[in-house]
Amino acid sequence: MTEDGILRIGPPQAIQKVREGSYLVQVPLTAVPSADWRRLFYEMQQEVPPDFPPRSIEISGSVLRFRSDAESVAARVPLIDRWIERANQKETSMAGRSDEQRQRHGERARERKELAALNEGWAKL
């Protein structure tokens, strides 16, 4: 993943005709998303149109795939870009919390060692 998170790096491409007027479309990404990122992409979205929920998008390797008629692709790609951005933001905020938790855990461990050393020194009082 890049320092900016996952990004769309190219235009949508029709890769298969599903039926008359309906196509399988894919958009390339900068990297293969993590499991956490995928969960955030699917679950943490706002402004979801009923006919195009995030769950209708398949994440496979470093591409997103979805079914669409040709006319709807231009409206769906900006939605996908917003959803990608939101998943990146949420993942970044989660990473910050994880770093804070690790730091607090480390501080507590150092504090326990300090207290143990003090108590050991006082044991003979």
End-to-end Cα, the chain, rounded Å: 56
31 within some domain = yes
Provide the pLDDT for residue 58: 96
35 within some domain = yes
- 10 Å Cβ neighbour count for 7? 15
pLDDT one-digit tens code per residue, 29-67: 999 999 999 999 998 887 788 899 899 999 999 999 999
Provide the pLDDT for residue 110: 80
The DSSP element (H or E) to which 28 belongs, if any, is: strand 22-28
What's the domain range around 46?
13-94
Give the C-alpha separation, 33 to 61, whole Å.
8
Token digits of residue 60: 């496979």
Q: In what order do the strands lie in the sheet with 13-19?
A: 13-19, 22-28, 63-68, 58-60
89 within some domain = yes
pLDDT one-digit tens code per residue, 59-107: 999 999 999 999 999 999 999 999 999 999 999 888 765 556 556 656 7
3 within some domain = no
Number of domains in the chain: 1
pTM value?
0.72
